[in-house]
Amino acid sequence: MIYEFEGKTEREAIELAASQLGLETDQFDVEILETQSGGLFKKGKVKIRVHTAGNPAAGYPAAGAGISDAEALAKAEKSRAPGRGKGTEERAVKSSLTEAEKLPMDEFETKITQWAAEVVGKMGYPAKVSVLFREEKKIGLKIETDNTSMIIGKKGKNIDALQLLANVFAGTLGRDDIKVILDSENYRIRREESLVRIAYESAEQVRRTGRSILLEPMNPFERRIVHTTLNDIVDIETKSEGEGLYKQVRVMFRGRK
Amino acid sequence: MERDLVEYIVKSLVDDPQAVEIKVIEGEKSTILELKVADTDVGKVIGKNGRIARAIRTILSACANAQSKRVILEILD
């Protein structure tokens, strides 16, 4: 069977082919028909032709078969359906998990969530605060509001300030053994991912140019992520520079020893 | 409104909430909040290296109204 696909890059076109046909990339042959490389302001385009052995299980309409072929379309719909089914299943699992997180709160949890909701509310953003996770000596709170960007602030400035005060407040409740983490729209996870990406990218650049890079100022928690991410890379060294809470991480090339 | 916010935060942090006083001075472009707490609580609202005071000021600047008018927090001792 022969199919045709189009993508911005060769890889994208092949990946599209693989997902549409429900095959692994090594299960078919690829012939590149047309390559338009992208300019500075223009996106490139790659057309490929895919040759498969026999008729694959997925009923993707073959090239030239005509999109109007109702039967092929119906088949394609059907083949995509299981994927969608899996999606709802995953969602169901996720929602039951959050259901579990909504277990009864003890006195401390009630007080701290109320406090956070009250403070954010008084800032002018009506908010709902709930428990996100519980760990030993750690509690995560989730802030839900229409103005998440204001709650998070530039580089998390506002949510970090709120978190600091929440921890001081926890201390006045006699629970300075517990660390309070505030989050909104998964900011913490997103920030961690972007820090790991920044770390790898700067390591790559340092290796290429041989020059060290000084990253933007970060708080201790963020620096720790950068240090631990690059700790395993043998030829890269990291060091914190500067004074105070917000230091900068320097990424350096150590060379192969 | 900013007054309420500061009052709520400060009262939740100090040992003597009764002694918390806030005076609001409205200016044309800015509002000044003068905060007074019990002598023993001054350290609690300022914090090590002014961390807590800075956090309160950061939150003030993130208020919904603060976009149009500057709010300045002064801690009196």
The answer to whether B68 faces chain A, any CB pair under 8 Å, is no
The answer to whether A111 faces chain B, any CB pair under 8 Å, is no
At A28-52, the pLDDT tens digits run 777 777 777 655 566 667 778 877 7
Interface test with A, best of B15, B45, B57, B59 (most A CBs within 10 A): B59
User: Does residue A69 carry a pLDDT above 60?
Assistant: no
Q: Is A88 helix (H, G, I), strand (E, B) or coil?
A: helix
At A114-127, the pLDDT tens digits run 999 999 999 999 99
A224: Cβ–Cβ under 8 A, 6 or more apart, which residues?
Answer: none
* Mean pLDDT, rounded, for B13-40: 92
Interface test with B, best of A115, A123, A162, A219 (most B CBs within 10 A): A123
Chain A residues with CB under 8 Å of B44 CB are: 168
At A210-228, the pLDDT tens digits run 899 999 999 888 999 999 9
Q: Which candidate from B5, B49, B54 shows the least CB-CB separation from A123?
A: B5
pTM of structure: 0.65
Residue A92's identity, in one-letter code, is A
Q: Identify the sign of the CA torsion A219, A221, A222, A223.
A: positive
Q: Is A44 helix (H, G, I), strand (E, B) or coil?
A: coil
* Mean pLDDT, rounded, for A83-107: 52
Is B58 close to A153, i.e. CB distance below 8 A? Answer: yes
pLDDT tier for residue A24 given thresholds of 50, 70 and 90? confident
Residue B6's identity, in one-letter code, is V
Residue A16's pLDDT is 79
Lowest mean pLDDT across A86-90, A142-146, B4-8: A86-90
| The token pair that represents A18 in the structure block | 């693989």
| The token pair that represents A222 in the structure block | 């963020």
